[in-house]
């Protein structure tokens, strides 16, 4: 089979031939039809001291199952997060991370919706918005952000605001149902909001916190780091909540499954539609990474083995 690999931090991505892996206990072997490219993997390729396996969301057909697998069989269509080599014709997926793909959805729909949508839905749930409260989403045109905008609207937010790095993305964000769209460099992000879902971190935490109304909640779910001053929380009785999807997947599987079911319900009724920025061949994985590095993507970037 073909697989994408690299040899040093920031080094070029290239295709190699590799043996088709054998599924171990609790694992599914999936023939990949679509692979989602994620910002954390793009960052690790650029920064990690040692090369990593290029993982991410995968979707396709189960062609073999390992010992102990009970919920899936060969021929099933599944999607899920692969922590091993996912940029490949075949990949291994742990049964606990797998989700069935309904007949009405394509493999591309699945990788654009499920993993990023779970993060978006989890971050929104962590903010605990009351019906009618306002929500601001940073990186609102990103894979998770564009779904968070739609989910906030679908779940009853009174006002939804997107924040983006490039004003050219504003029309796209408004087309998702946002009432307004602001630019990171604006002096003000407009009327204060009750909740901020932040997927950027770093220096953006300061204006994100300033955008909150008194008693507002900021949910930090990025890998970008950053710090906030305790005084900035104190004066407005504001709070910052950290959110990580993997903790939910491993520690609260019943909640994880409930969120997955909600995503597919909302996909079926049309209230949430994943957008795909582009579909790239495996040999063009470097081009797919570049789209994310440039912050050029509107929605999900997908590889098609």
* The pLDDT value given to residue 40: 85
Residue 133 contacts residue 157 (beta carbons within 8 Å): yes
How far is the C-alpha of 284 from the C-alpha of 55, rounded, in Å? 16
Kind of pairing, strands 14-17 and 2-5? antiparallel
**Alpha carbon of 103 to those of 36, 78, 107, 110, 264: distances in Å?**
19, 11, 10, 11, 11
Mean pLDDT throughout 169-180? 97
* Polymer length in residues for the chain: 305
Tell me which residue has tokens 């978006």: 120
How far is the C-alpha of 61 from the C-alpha of 53, rounded, in Å? 21
What one-character-per-residue DSSP string does 57-96 give?
A: EEEEEEEEE-TT--S--TT-EEEEEESS--SBSEEEEEGG
pTM of the model: 0.91
Nearest to 99 by CA among 84, 117, 125: 117
How far is the C-alpha of 164 from the C-alpha of 253, rounded, in Å? 32
89-104 pLDDT tens trace: 999 999 988 989 999 9
How far is the C-alpha of 83 from the C-alpha of 52, rounded, in Å? 10
* The pLDDT value given to residue 166: 93
pLDDT level of residue 17 (50, 70, 90 thresholds): very high
213-257 pLDDT tens trace: 999 999 999 877 788 888 889 999 999 999 988 788 778 888 988
How far is the C-alpha of 74 from the C-alpha of 216, rounded, in Å? 48
* The pLDDT value given to residue 78: 97
Nearest to 163 by CA among 198, 213, 117: 198
Query: Treating both helix axes as pointing N-terminal to C-terminal, what angle do 145-154 and 253-269 enclose, rounded to 10 degrees?
Result: 80
What does the block give as tokens for 258? 């409930």
Write down all domains in the chain, each with its CATH number in brackets.
2-101+275-304 (3.90.180.10), 116-245 (3.40.50.720)
Query: Percentage of the chain surpassing pLDDT 70?
Result: 100
């Amino acid at each position: 089979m073909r697989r994408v690999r690299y040899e040093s931090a920031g080094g070029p991505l290239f295709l190699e031939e590799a043996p088709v892996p054998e599924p171990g206990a609790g694992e599914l072997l999936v023939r990949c039809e679509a692979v989602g490219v994620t910002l954390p993997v793009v960052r690790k390729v650029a920064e990690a001291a040692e090369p990593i396996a290029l993982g991410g969301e995968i979707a396709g057909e189960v062609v073999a199952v390992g010992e102990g697998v009970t919920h899936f069989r060969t021929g099933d269509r599944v999607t899920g997060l692969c922590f091993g080599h996912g940029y490949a014709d075949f990949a291994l997926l742990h049964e606990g991370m797998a989700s069935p793909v309904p007949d009405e959805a394509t493999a591309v729909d699945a990788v654009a919706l499920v993993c990023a949508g779970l993060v978006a839905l989890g971050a929104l749930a962590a903010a605990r918005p009351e019906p009618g409260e306002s929500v601001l989403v940073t990186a609102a045109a990103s894979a998770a952000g564009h779904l968070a905008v739609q989910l906030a609207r679908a779940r009853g937010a009174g006002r939804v605001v997107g924040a983006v790095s490039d004003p050219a993305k504003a029309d796209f964000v408004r087309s998702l149902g946002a009432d307004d769209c602001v630019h990171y460099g604006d002096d003000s992000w407009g009327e204060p909001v009750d909740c901020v879902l932040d997927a950027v971190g770093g220096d953006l935490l300061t204006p994100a916190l300033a955008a909150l109304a008194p008693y507002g909640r900021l949910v930090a779910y990025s890998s970008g780091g950053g710090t906030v001053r305790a005084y900035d929380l104190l004066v407005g009785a504001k709070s910052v909540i950290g959110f990580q999807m993997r903790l939910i997947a491993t520690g609260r599987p019943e909640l994880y499954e409930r969120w997955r079911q909600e995503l597919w319900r909302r996909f079926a009724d049309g209230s949430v539609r994943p957008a795909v920025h582009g579909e790239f061949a495996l040999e063009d994985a470097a081009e797919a990474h570049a789209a994310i590095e440039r912050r050029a993507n509107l929605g999900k970037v997908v590889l098609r083995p």
